[in-house]
Amino acid sequence: MPALRAADLYHTGIVVPDVEAAMDRMSEVAGYRWTKPLSAELPIWMADGERTLTLRYTYSLDVPHIELVQEVPGTPWTATAHAAAHHLGYFCDDVPETSKRLEAAGFALEACAVTDGHAPSVFAYHLAPTGERIEIVDRALMPDFPASLQSRT
């Protein structure tokens, strides 16, 4: 059984230097509409240790959904010279278990929110040796994703 289900893919994430500028650019070019930018201050585990980071992001209201994430230099959320897809975001029902299954499939744990020791919770990023990055997110955070987006406009 695969670690993920294709049907649970709900967004493509792009890390950008300026969320508002990227929102404006994508709205002008493709007509995207957006949620208000959101911020969350979370304890994050990364290979070089645990830090509390402020993650700032927005989702497109239009499908296919795009997540724009404000870069945080020196972390996995660092923008590239050409803002390319950063990750594919999947909902899952059990972040710790799905994280273990992704690791067993060769996707190393890169970063995750932690609430109890270093066990992934809420979300986790996994990176394949060939560069594909997967974000898994606890489905319970947004059980009705479209309604969640509409409530943030």
pLDDT tens-digit series, residues 38-94 = 999 999 999 899 999 999 999 999 999 999 999 999 999 999 887 689 999 999 999
The residue among 135, 15, 107, 20 whose CA lies nearest residue 70 is 15
Distance CA 21, CA 53 (A): 22
- How confident is the model at residue 39, as a pLDDT? 96
The residue among 139, 134, 38, 44 whose CA lies nearest residue 85 is 134
Alpha helix locations (H) across the chain?
19-30, 95-104, 145-150
Q: What global pTM score does this model have?
A: 0.92
Token pair 């979300």 is found at: 123
